[in-house]
Amino acid sequence: MKPVAIRLEGGLLQATTARHTTPACSSILSPHITTQSASRRRRQIHSSPSGRQPATILDSSNTPSPPPAAVTVKEPAKSGPDSTPALGCLPLGQILRSYLITSVSSSPALLEASSKLLRQMLESKNFLFSLERNPIARALLHETFYKQFCAGSTKQEVSKTTTELRQMGYSGVILEYALEVLKDAEGDEAVDVETWREGMLSSVHMADRGDFLGLKWSGMGVAAMNRMKKNEQPSKQMSEAMHAVCQAAAAKDISLLPAAEETWSLDGFHQWCLDLQRQYNTAGKSVVYSTYQAYLKQTPETVARHLQIAKDEGFTLGLKLVRGAYLGTEARSLIWDTIEGTHTSYDTIASALIHRKDNDLVRPFNKSSSEGFWPNTNVMLATHNAVSVRLAQEHRRAQAARGEELTTLTFAQLQGMADEVSTSLIAAARASEQERQALGLSAVENFKRGAVKEKVFKCTTWGTMHQCLNYLLRRAAENKDAASRTKDTRLAMGAELRRRVKATFGLA
């Protein structure tokens, strides 16, 4: 095993081996925090307490915003005619594990102790904490944090996990490789790029047709980060690796989800994504997406500009919308001034993409264009925020009821987190299908009634337990900061456990 070092980056304690950079999926919900006030902002930005009212949608069109909808997870949602609770699709072991981990997360002392234990497993040479030599430590980690948040370390384990997720009702998975790259490491470009290429191709091999693959261009090492920072094209070796992964993904009908970088390299990041989209995103299919962070003031204009480019050049634009991943390290002037500003930004950009109509935030970039700026688009809303999910669903139902063509849309959450949000989406899709069958309607007739069957994906990381420890440390830190969301999940799991106990004794 290579020696490891613990370093504090952006306020999150991170352990480093030879490689480290934040995995793509973490941009769904993991901004880095440097101060206590920043930590509070992150909790508010990414949480979805039942009392929060939906953000005001800034919309200058005639399309009405959906009415405010109270969102609560204190009792499991029902899935439709059979009255099966949404969380009923989860196995008992997962319910118990989620309740245990969110209960630990709600106790600062227990969470700190758990985080220290994870760090000891990562860095200590003591037998007690060795995953290779101590079977008890290995079993403890495997049956708790690892099984909660990770897919496995082999193709067989990953296949078992993803099969179980599909059986629960998920449309598929977003698969990520846990090996990471330290952004200020010296690095070896040839080795870094080849390691990244092999890991990505292995992930494509493990994924099923129709899945997504999460990645970071900066995963190719320090040289890639520097090129993006200078807005330079990838090197020859980088370009060959990127195209090899794109071609493998396209051949298997898998889409790539590059995670956003910090603003100092964001122009280069988007340029690399657009160049690949020009080549691979044809005939309405998005092999390559780009990620847009709603907490940045510049994002609405960036989205509009990229929509116009895709329209003018005739390719399909793939967009993954997240709230943001670098709150603690970005200049405060680049970020919306208030928490509600971020909520409004996310929900308003999502509204524009869903309705394919400009509004007060997403305005036509080329004002002289008379044909609009809406190309073919594929959209992913990656969020754990229940209110944003509810608003998007309301938009979609209203569209369907009006008989409008629906934008291709998927929802995504991290494995082991926000299951009450994910399963509510699954329950809504199941209820729509059950009602359609009960009424004897065709899919077209059901659509005309305003019924929409949404697609929801779980983002999961694969790799050995030691490779995944950095990822698990961030999940622990995130649960500490997102206290209200963790509480929502704990309440939902507790309610589901009580329901199952009552059902066992015929009291449900």
Which residue ranges make up each domain of the chain? Answer: 92-505
More confident residue, 473 or 389: 389
pLDDT of residue 48: 47
Q: How confident is the model at residue 471 (pLDDT cuts 50, 70, 90)?
A: confident
Q: By percentage, how much of the chain surpasses pLDDT 90?
A: 59
SS (HEC) of 268-307: HHHHHHHHHHHHHCCCCCCCECEEEECCECCHHHHHHHHH
pLDDT digit string, tens, across residues 78-89? 444 445 789 999
Q: What average pLDDT score do residues 106-118 get?
A: 85
Q: What does pTM read for this prediction?
A: 0.84
pLDDT digit string, tens, across residues 395-434? 999 998 888 889 999 999 999 999 999 999 999 888 878 8
Q: How confident is the model at residue 6 (pLDDT cuts 50, 70, 90)?
A: very low
- Please, what CATH class does the domain formed by 92-505 belong to? alpha beta
pLDDT digit string, tens, across residues 255-275? 999 999 999 999 999 999 999
pLDDT of residue 139: 94
SS (HEC) of 109-156: HHHHHHHHHHHHHHHCCCHHHCCCCCHHHHHHHHHHHHHHHEEECCHH
Residue 116 in tokens: 């220290």
pLDDT digit string, tens, across residues 117-168? 998 998 888 988 888 889 999 999 999 999 999 999 999 999 999 999 999 9
DSSP 316: P
- Would you say residue 31 has pLDDT above 80? no
